[in-house]
């Protein structure tokens, strides 16, 4: 009897092992109508998620992507956080992905990203509702409002911040820039004053940012858990603000949030309250974090490249010397005259690669260069692999703004430059970010010099970060 039990137990165990092997094989060798791109799915369920999130201290393409490009070519398959994903460094395929939005591809992010940004975030919306929200946002960040309002407000914010920093032994630049930009944009978006931000909303966004691109384990002590808690607290503030404003129908419109609430009060509103809240959350985040990171890296690069700094300073001092009042605020004509500055900004964002990947989903089986991308699979366009490709950019890791000289103005994403995305979802805040960077650079190089006190090392996880900060001392010019 005992022998029969042992045989039965052994048979059950063997069957479970065989079933597990077969399941693992089917997971790593999915069926497809054509030839899948080369690559590996790694371990079942976990995939290659650990390798994808592994930190690396370089401006170069991440080791995760670089090793696979060398082994498999410009398009390869992998698995990240449980989903099959095709990673692309192919400029032609990337361009097709952006241009075929809504036809062959649609905006998509892994479930963990959706949890962070909200299930009704603008990146998950499609068709009419997305275009409708984009039109609303352009009322804030469009050319007309930039020229009439935001340029002058940005100039005042940069002047005030730099003046306050100049009295300190050192300032941690990334944190200082984040505070400055957040205070500026939060006032436009939700009429928040800096005194209120210090203890509430901005702190929650800082917590959110620490875990934004981190390994998705939601347990206390992890960056991802801190991120999710930051989101919950920030959303609580926004929901409370929405309830108070909706209860006051006679309130005068003062900011962008009021514009959204006016839309919600319509007889047949296009959006829901959840969509409005997630849009405000994304705008508050996107308005300050990406630009602050790019500017921090920009100041670091300028300090390491005296020839670039000299040429940049000469352009801005010429602008000041042509004014009747040397202390006047920056004008639109002056901003549009900054030829070399625009080249510097393009070079900064090319090297910064703030966004390590832009995600889409295949809506149908797609054939490209002999490979099949199955319907439902994720696609990750990899901007760093294009921006740092030596076949496209000579000596790609060099900070060389002159490489943009005599090039046509970039008003949207191209095959070889996608720092602000591309296609239908080209970032609506691009022009505002450029104005912020140009205005800050203008105020900095005309009135101050600086020296590094400590820090400045970078890390990518895979997003850009400064683990030990970037501390500088500002010295007023005579």
Binding site residues for heme, as ranges?
A: 427
- Tracing tokens 């002056």 back to the chain, one arrives at 334
Cα distance between residue 142 and residue 138, in whole Å: 4
Q: Please, are residues 335 and 151 in contact by the beta-carbon 8 Å criterion?
A: yes
Pinpoint the alpha helices (H) of 41-104. Answer: 49-53, 63-72, 91-99
Cα distance between residue 363 and residue 374, in whole Å: 8
Q: Please, are residues 94 and 381 in contact by the beta-carbon 8 Å criterion?
A: yes
Structure tokens at 109: 């992010």
Structure tokens at 375: 């319907």
Q: Please, are residues 452 and 444 in contact by the beta-carbon 8 Å criterion?
A: no
CB atoms closer than 10 angstroms to residue 243 = 10
Closest residue by Cα to residue 286 from 167, 425, 396:
425
Structure tokens at 432: 């505002």
Annotated binding site: 427
CB atoms closer than 10 angstroms to residue 234 = 23
First to last CA, the chain: 98
Cα distance between residue 44 and residue 31, in whole Å: 16
Q: Please, are residues 429 and 141 in contact by the beta-carbon 8 Å criterion?
A: yes
- For the chain, give the number of residues: 478
Q: Please, are residues 271 and 277 in contact by the beta-carbon 8 Å criterion?
A: no
Partners of 455 in the beta sheet? 470
């Amino acid at each position: 009897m005992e022998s029969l039990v042992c045989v039965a137990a052994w048979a059950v165990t063997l069957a479970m092992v065989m079933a597990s092997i077969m399941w693992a094989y089917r997971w790593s060798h999915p069926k497809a109508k054509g030839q899948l791109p080369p690559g590996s799915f790694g371990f079942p369920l976990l995939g290659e998620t650990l390798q994808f999130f592994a930190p690396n201290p370089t401006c170069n393409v991440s080791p995760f992507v670089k090793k696979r490009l060398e082994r498999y070519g410009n398009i390869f398959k992998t698995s990240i956080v449980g989903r099959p994903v095709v990673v692309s460094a192919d400029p032609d395929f990337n361009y097709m992905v952006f241009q075929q939005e809504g036809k062959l591809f649609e905006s998509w992010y892994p479930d963990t990203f959706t949890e962070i940004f909200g299930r009704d975030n603008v990146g998950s919306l499609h068709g009419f509702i997305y275009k409708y929200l984009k039109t609303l946002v352009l009322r804030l960040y469009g050319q007309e409002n930039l020229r009439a309002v935001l340029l002058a407000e940005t100039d005042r914010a940069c002047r005030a911040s730099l003046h306050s920093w100049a009295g300190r032994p050192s300032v941690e630049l990334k944190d200082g820039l984040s505070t400055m930009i957040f205070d500026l944009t939060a006032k436009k978006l939700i009429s928040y004053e800096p005194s209120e931000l210090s203890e509430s909303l901005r702190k929650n966004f800082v917590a959110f940012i620490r875990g934004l691109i981190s390994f998705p384990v939601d347990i206390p002590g992890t960056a991802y858990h801190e991120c999710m808690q930051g989101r919950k607290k920030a959303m609580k503030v926004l929901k409370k603000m929405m309830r108070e404003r909706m209860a006051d129908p006679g309130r005068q419109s003062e900011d962008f949030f009021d514009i959204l609430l006016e839309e919600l009060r319509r007889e047949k509103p296009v959006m829901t309250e959840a969509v409005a809240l997630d849009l405000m959350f994304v705008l508050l985040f996107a308005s300050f974090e990406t630009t602050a990171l790019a500017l921090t890296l920009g100041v670091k690069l300028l300090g390491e490249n005296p020839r670039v700094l000299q040429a940049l300073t000469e352009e801005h001092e010429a602008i000041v010397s042509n004014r009747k009042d040397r202390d006047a605020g920056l004008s639109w004509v002056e901003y549009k005259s900054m030829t070399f500055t625009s080249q510097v900004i393009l070079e900064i964002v090319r090297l910064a690669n703030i966004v390590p990947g832009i995600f889409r989903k295949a809506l149908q089986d797609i054939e490209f260069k002999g490979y099949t991308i199955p319907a439902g699979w994720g696609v990750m366009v990899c901007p760093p692999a294009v921006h740092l490709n030596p076949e496209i950019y000579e000596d790609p890791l060099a900070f060389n703004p002159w490489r943009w000289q005599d090039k046509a103005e970039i008003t949207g994403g191209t095959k070889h430059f996608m720092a602000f995305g591309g296609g239908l979802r080209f970032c609506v805040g691009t022009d505002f970010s450029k104005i912020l960077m140009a205005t800050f650079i203008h105020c900095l190089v005309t009135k101050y010099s600086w020296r590094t006190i400590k820090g400045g090392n970078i890390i990518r996880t895979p997003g850009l970060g400064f683990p030990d900060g970037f501390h500088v001392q500002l010295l007023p010019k005579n």
